[in-house]
Structure 1
Amino acid sequence: MRSIPSNKIKDALELAKAKCGISHFSKRVLKNLSGGYQQRVGLAQAIIHNPKLVVLDEPTNGLDPNQILEVRKLIREIAEDRAVILSTHILSEVQATCDKIVMIEHGEIVFADTLHAFNNYIEPNTLIMEVDSPPSEDELYAIEGITDVYFVTKNRIRLQFNAGPEITKTIIQASITNGWRLSEIFLEKSSLDGVFAQLSKKKHAGNKAPELVPVNF
């Protein structure tokens, strides 16, 4: 079926089984394997003829958390020496396995770039800081650009702002001046769901959620 020359089938079979970690199940009936190993068999079938392109549709659907991690690892290994197109609606799957994203809605490409560009599509507007001597809410609201204050714990605070990223420098200086003893500060990245919602709203307001078609290269 894969047009492999008859004299090369045995070697191709052994290589695909080894690559997918199923050599020790060679004599087992497929239906008696776990869902994760059944997926591995499917991946072995997809690469046995050494294609330059592999297309996968929801490859971790129905798997338990451990099986998902195993299959994701296998997909990344397969993508080391070939292109992999992975279609999924699960955003965590995108983040865990993909390098580039093409988002398609109603047959139109509405986003096509790297995962890094997707993650940074929305400029961060919140930050997390941790201090040993926490200030009051009033002190934080007094900082120009701070629009919301939320105490995650007594010492860990989430701040929303409408200024640029340089707000971190302002907060660091305020900590030094007021003795907050700042131990950690970082900008929060926008969630994949947040970026996804913004893209959907911008491109096709009112339509159903678009499909993500991530691509590994």
Structure 2
Amino acid sequence: MSIEVQNITKSYGEQKALDNVSFSVKKGEIVGFLGPNGAGKSTLMKILTTYLNADEGTASVNGHNVATTQKDVQKSVGYLPEHNPLYLDLYVKEYLAFNADVYNVSKSRIDDVIALTGLTPESHKKIGELSKGYRQRVGLATALLHNPEVLILDEPTTGLDPNQLVEIRDLIKNIGKDKTVFLSTHIMQEVEAICDRVIIINQGKIVTDKNLEKLVTEVEEQVIEVEFDQEIASELLASLENIANYKNVQGTVWELTFNTEKDMRPTVFDFAQNNGLRTLQLNSKSKNLEQIFREKTKK
């Protein structure tokens, strides 16, 4: 496993930030780590990168224990914190050269990460002259200097405009072809575009850990929106198989909720035919990641 977390607990005074958290991440996965503000995301990331110690439990990255073999963890992890610390008065290559000395890697690696992160057009500038998007690229380039097997990214697209967001998103997805990526974000579209798997944390506890595709397709109920060609008595809808709820949206449009994963559209169509009705529209309404997130994190 690239990342292994077992029964991690961390408190700040009486406030428990992480409460018996456990999960693992396989090599090559891109995992989205989601949760409301204060849920414990950054705390866990700081533990995995050795910036903080857990109160209880164990964690390892690439087989290295984060508490007892910190140097080995730091060598195998690339970390981009939420507030990307940069020296704005340094030139891009100057800053990367400084970090290359810290990591004790060859200066030839600088040109490699500049090309990889798309920094070439701006590499002659001071960091303070760069846009927010290019500053994030500098942070990613720094995290990649020592060619780590695991990238841990804390809110990598915060504050970016839509164009910059897409650029950084595509960059992370490209990097993820060769590395394990563990990233936190509040942007659901980002997770849907990049990630293979989603872990949702709420109030310090893991509430969901699933493959992204399964998460949005495995539902315990099905919602169908149907428009009939004429008004219908609500009592008639109660006879539908597996019906759990029915709500009049507007006029002859109804929202029908069934407590089954079975596709109920043929059943609704047959119901209309049997009752002398025509269906003007008949759509299955699947939940998106944002709706699932709200359900899992509501108090």
Structure 2 distance, partners of 1:158, 1:138, is 10
Which is further off, 105-114 or 61-70? Answer: 105-114
Q: Which letter does structure 2 place at the counterpart of 1:110?
A: V
For residues 51-66 of structure 1, what are the structure 2 equivalents within 5 Å?
51-66=148-163
Please report how far the alpha carbon of residue 24 of structure 1 lies from its aligned counterpart in structure 2 after TM superposition.
1.7
> What is the Cα deviation at residue 52 of structure 1?
0.6
Indicate the residue corresponding to 1:87 in structure 2. Answer: 184
The answer for the alignment partner of 1:215 in structure 2 is none
2:258 — aligned with what?
Answer: 162
1:2–1:49 contact (8 Å) kept in structure 2: yes
Query: For residues 259 and 186 of structure 2, what CA distance do their matches in structure 1 show?
Result: 33
Report if aligned partners of 2:246, 2:254 keep a CA contact under 8 Å in 1: no
Aligned mate of 1:135, from 217, 229, 240: 229
Q: Identify the residue that residue 148 of structure 1 maps to in structure 2.
A: 247
Higher mean C-alpha deviation, range 29-38 or range 187-196:
187-196
Q: Cα gap change, 1:14/1:139 in structure 2, threshold over 3 Å: closer, same or farther?
A: farther
Distance in 1 of aligned mates of 2:104 and 2:120: 22
Question: What runs of 5+ residues in structure 1 fail to find an aligned partner?
Answer: 207-217
Q: Which runs of structure 2 are paired with 1:204-215 in the superposition (5 Å)?
A: 206=299
Deviations 1:49-108 (A, max 9, x none): 211101111111011111111111111111111011101233333223211122234443
Q: Is the 8 A contact 1:126 1:158 kept in 2?
A: no
Asked if the contact 2:247–2:256 (Cα under 8 Å) also holds between the matched residues in 1, the reply is yes
Q: How does 1:187-206 map to 2 (within 5 A)?
A: 187-200=284-297, 206=299
Question: Which protein has the bigger strand share?
Answer: 2
Maintained 8 Å contact 1:124/1:190? no
Distance 2:231 2:134 in 1: 53
Flag structure 2 segments of 5+ consecutive residues without an equivalent: 1-101
Question: Which of these residues, 114, 117, 130, is aligned with residue 214 of structure 2?
Answer: 117
- CA apart distance, 1:32: 1.1
Is the Cα–Cα contact under 8 Å of residues 102 and 112 in structure 1 kept in the other structure? yes
What is the Cα deviation at residue 181 of structure 1?
A: 6.0
Alpha-carbon distance change, 125 to 141 in structure 1, aligned in 2, over 3 angstroms: farther
| Higher RCO, 1 vs 2 (CA within 8 Å, ≥6 residues apart) | 1
> 1:14-44 CA distances to partner (integer Å, 9 max, x unpaired)?
2211111111212111111111111112111
Q: 2:159, 2:147 → 1: CA distance?
A: 27
- Equivalent residue of 1:161, what SS? strand
**Alignment size in residue pairs:** 191
Structural mapping, 1:4-15, within 5 Å:
4=105, 6=106, 9-10=107-108, 12-15=109-112
- Deviation of 1:179 after TM superposition, in Å, equals 6.6
CA offset digits 1:147-205 (Å, max 9, x no partner):
113249x8xx45222343342111232455647365x644212233332233335xxxx
